[in-house]
Amino acid sequence: MDSSKPAEAVKNVVKTASGKIADALTPEVPGAPGSAPPTIDEPTTPHDPLPPKPEQGAPQTRTPTGAETGAPTTANGQQGAYLTTANGARLRDTDHSLKAGPRGPVLLQDHHLREKITHFDHERIPERVVHARGAGAHGVFTAYGTAEAVTRAGFLKKGRETEVFVRFSTVLGSRGSADTVRDTRGFATKFYTDEGTFDLVGNNMPVFFIQDAIKFPDIIHAGKPHPDREIPQAQSAHDTFWDFVSLHTEAQHHTIWNMSDRGIPRSYRTMEGFGVHTFRLVNEAGETVLAKFHWKPKLGVHSLTWEEAQMLSGMDPDFHRRDLYDAIEAGAYPEWELGIQVFPDTPEETFAGIDLLDPTKIVPEELAEVQPIGRLVLNRTPTNFFAETEQVAFHLGHLPPGIDVTNDPLLQGRLFSYVDTQLTRLGGPNFSQIPINRPHAAVNDMLRDGFHQHAVHAGVAPYRPNSLDGGNPFPAGDAEHAFVDVPVTVAQAPKVRANPASFDDHYSQVRLFWLSMSPVEQEHIIRAYTFELGKCYHQAIKERQLQSLANIDPVLCAQVATGLGLPAPQPTAPLADVTPSPALSQVGREWPTDGRTVGIVVDPDGDLDDLGEVRRAIFEAGMVPLLIAPHGGMVGDLPVQRTFATGRSVEFDALLLAGAPTPAPDAIPARDAKAGRPGPATVDPRVLLLIEECWRHVKAIGAWGAGVTVLEQAGVTGTPGTVTAGSGAEALTAVQQLMAAHRVWERFPATVA
């Protein structure tokens, strides 16, 4: 509406002081008597459930108590024909405060102004105390039925489909920090099962820093920025972190995972996930087993190089979030298989000598196979990031019948912590009524009142049994479908603040991890320790951490010590005699290439014959082609996605060179003229930089036609992982074969034998 209209309307109302108010109202004001009905689809209210997308299946239309609410309405207030206040009164104008004349002071009585600004002032809620930076997506979990023998959980029965919401996160950084920092990643999954919500709140690493939740505030205080200057943000490369892990040596296992390539994943889509703790499963017959949960990504475990991670922190701090949402929107749905390792439920709660209650220990897959039990596909991005990703609240106590907890002291403390923090973060005890947190199972609880209570509970007797509201006698309940608290015998034991002796082994599995790495992965680990400790100021902390490295492996310790310019200490105890677990290595296997990104450098004035076909073949292989040209717009009839100014190696998994225009002579910087490249410098230096980076980041590079000359100009022809071919199709085939191994590892200078 034209902003002059309200003034007219006011004039008209004033005119009607004689009694003709209805006649005087302007018909253009929507909803005024005599005007046409408003044309918006539905009335809007910010309190409606989230609008489901069509492919999501049945809309979520239950109230928190399980009753049907009817069809949800849209919450797209900005698309309606008119705006209203939060109470539904229609507005004439949302751009001008109510003033005493056009130049006068603003009137306190302007309710819309105060409501709009007050609400805005309170838009932010506290970020999560850990895992503040994250990205979520919706999906579906389909059970294979293979877990039916060991658990009665209904959602794991063959063919059952369950809606899920997954939130990936970093741990240390604030909500606005970069995605690609070196850190553990959260992998939290909410299964909306019809027997109640199951939250599997895991990480991309199978072990944790500490064995007892009582130390959680301490490790987080150590990892977060220093309290005086509040730096560094989202980093473990600082004194307090290394102070903690070198003093609490149980943290050494998780720390080596962080220093490995697992600390800098290529994508959320290429991360493994782990429930970390051992859980207890119970089947229909009441028999129990112990189990660990694993998520296996369809695309394989794949990481960034450290240089890529650092570049991305500046060039695209949203890299993982963008990658996740781009992939889903492109239809390259991220997929994982859920698997379990199963162990007999013995009184010792150990397997192959490994204490299953110690969250700093793994059970190597070679000793207990990960058995696939279902498939997760993420197929829908959030409609509203705040409503879903920020407001989602996970909790380890959200368990369906058939899955129970164990006495792992880390797990036990987590059972307390999450709901406690969410009471503050989400503003009171009713956050399970927030749409993303609502169970899809019917709810009939006796929880009442509290901040943000949305349910209108009927009846007078919220207690059981009762004789007033027809309440069934309790405790009979629904024995058949109820949650099973496995009646585990709790040992008669003195009350102590102590760990079992097995928890004292802090090094054998760290050594096992180190010895399971390929040489190139070991090299990355050495570089990571050297970098992080090199950022510490206190010599004593570096020396203490070197002592821990000596207790892991002498080569690791010596190499890091050399980098730090310090002597390498001797181990304080004999090194553990361990058998490596090849399953821990990311290198040496082949993976599907779908979902990967291929950059294609083109010369708009060159030979474009093969281009359309190559692009089509990339799409058909389930990958994403991105055309890189000197300028935006179109090349022939194909759209350009990146220009020489915006395309950098970090966002491609491989590069194809079809050609590149010769820049004007004065556009070649002196740097390139001096670089000693073969022949005259005829290639745009930004293309040469792109090739150099792809080469350094050990990515496959293919060239055909004029692209072969471009590759020669970059001086890398004939090196491992570079391909020159007679046609675009041949170049693509060769490059795709190389991509199956993720990177061309032969190019990485490994210095560890």
Q: Which of 112, 138, 203, 294 is catalytic?
A: 203
Least distance between ligand HEM and beta carbon 200 (Å): 9
Q: Is 616 within any annotated ligand binding site?
A: no
User: Smaller CB distance to ligand HEM: residue 322 or 425?
Assistant: 425
131 is catalytic: yes
User: Which structure tokens are listed for 31?
Assistant: 């909803």
Q: Is 175 within any annotated ligand binding site?
A: no
- d(Cα 89, Cα 748) in Å, to the nearest integer? 66
Q: Which residue spans within 298-345 are E strands per DSSP? A: 335-344
H or E, element range at 557: helix 554-564
What's the number of CA atoms in the CB half-sphere (13 Å) around residue 720? Answer: 12
Residue from 186, 223, 265, 647 in contact with ligand HEM (CB under 6 A): 186
Q: Residue 623 burial by CB count (10 A; 0-12/13-18/19+): exposed, middle or buried?
A: buried
Q: Is 167 within any annotated ligand binding site?
A: yes
Least distance between ligand HEM and beta carbon 432 (Å): 12
Tokens 């009184």 locate to 347
- d(Cα 223, Cα 509) in Å, to the nearest integer? 23
Kindly give, in sequence order, each residue whose CB lies less than 8 Å from that of residue 728, ignoring residues fewer than 6 positions away. 610, 611, 613, 614, 656, 658, 704, 705
Least distance between ligand HEM and beta carbon 73 (Å): 28
Give the dihedral sign, CA 113/114/115/118: positive
Single out the segment in contact with ligand HEM by CB under 6 A; choices: 319-327, 419-427, 655-663, 731-739: 419-427
Q: Which of 112, 131, 395, 697 is catalytic?
A: 131
Is 201 among the residues that bind ligand HEM (CB under 6 A)?
Answer: yes
Is 359 among the residues that bind ligand HEM (CB under 6 A)?
Answer: yes
- d(Cα 179, Cα 560) in Å, to the nearest integer? 27
- d(Cα 542, Cα 534) in Å, to the nearest integer? 8
User: Which structure tokens are listed for 556?
Assistant: 């690791």
Is 49 among the residues that bind ligand HEM (CB under 6 A)?
Answer: no
Is 265 among the residues that bind ligand HEM (CB under 6 A)?
Answer: no
Least distance between ligand HEM and beta carbon 274 (Å): 7
742 is catalytic: no
Could you please report the per-residue DSSP string of 658-690? ---PPPPGGGS-HHHHTTT-SSS--S-HHHHHH
Residue from 379, 383, 417, 466 in contact with ligand HEM (CB under 6 A): 417
Q: Residue 546 burial by CB count (10 A; 0-12/13-18/19+): exposed, middle or buried?
A: buried
Residue ranges in 385-404 that form contacts with ligand HEM under rule CB under 6 A = 392-394
Least distance between ligand HEM and beta carbon 401 (Å): 23
CA-based nearest residue to 511, from 557, 462, 542: 557
**Would you say 529 and 259 are in contact if contact means Cβ atoms under 8 Å apart?**
yes
Is 216 among the residues that bind ligand HEM (CB under 6 A)?
Answer: yes
User: Which structure tokens are listed for 175?
Assistant: 């909500």
CA-based nearest residue to 224, from 170, 187, 261: 170
Single out the segment in contact with ligand HEM by CB under 6 A; choices: 67-75, 122-130, 337-345, 588-596: 122-130
Least distance between ligand HEM and beta carbon 253 (Å): 12
Is 409 among the residues that bind ligand HEM (CB under 6 A)?
Answer: no
Least distance between ligand HEM and beta carbon 410 (Å): 5
Q: Is 414 within any annotated ligand binding site?
A: yes
User: Smaller CB distance to ligand HEM: residue 165 or 644?
Assistant: 165
Provide the total of helices (H) and of strands (E) in the chain, helices listed first. Answer: 19, 20
Q: Is 92 within any annotated ligand binding site?
A: no
User: Smaller CB distance to ligand HEM: residue 503 or 652?
Assistant: 503
Single-letter amino acid, residue 683: V
Least distance between ligand HEM and beta carbon 276 (Å): 4
Least distance between ligand HEM and beta carbon 487 (Å): 25
Single out the segment in contact with ligand HEM by CB under 6 A; choices: 84-92, 94-102, 410-418, 601-609: 410-418
DSSP-based three-state secondary structure for 251: helix
Radius of gyration for the chain, computed over Cα atoms and rounded to the nearest angstrom? 30
Is 425 among the residues that bind ligand HEM (CB under 6 A)?
Answer: yes
Residue from 180, 203, 406, 548 in contact with ligand HEM (CB under 6 A): 203
Is 422 among the residues that bind ligand HEM (CB under 6 A)?
Answer: yes
- d(Cα 254, Cα 208) in Å, to the nearest integer? 5
User: Smaller CB distance to ligand HEM: residue 412 or 508?
Assistant: 412
Single out the segment in contact with ligand HEM by CB under 6 A; choices: 123-131, 240-248, 323-331, 397-405: 123-131
Q: Is the peptide bond before 400 cis (omega within 30 degrees of 0)?
A: no
Is 418 among the residues that bind ligand HEM (CB under 6 A)?
Answer: yes
- d(Cα 491, Cα 664) in Å, to the nearest integer? 81
Could you please report the per-residue DSSP string of 404-418? E----HHHHHHHHHH
Single out the segment in contact with ligand HEM by CB under 6 A; choices: 15-23, 43-51, 124-132, 465-473: 124-132
DSSP 8-state assignment for residue 550: H
User: Smaller CB distance to ligand HEM: residue 267 or 597?
Assistant: 267
User: Smaller CB distance to ligand HEM: residue 144 or 336?
Assistant: 336
Residue from 200, 222, 276, 731 in contact with ligand HEM (CB under 6 A): 276
Q: Which residues bind ligand HEM (CB under 6 A)?
A: 128-131, 134, 167, 169, 186, 188, 201-203, 208, 213, 216, 276, 359, 392-394, 410, 413-414, 417-418, 421-422, 425
Tell me which residues are annotated as active site.
Answer: 131, 203
Which residues carry a binding-site annotation?
A: 128, 167, 216, 414, 418, 425
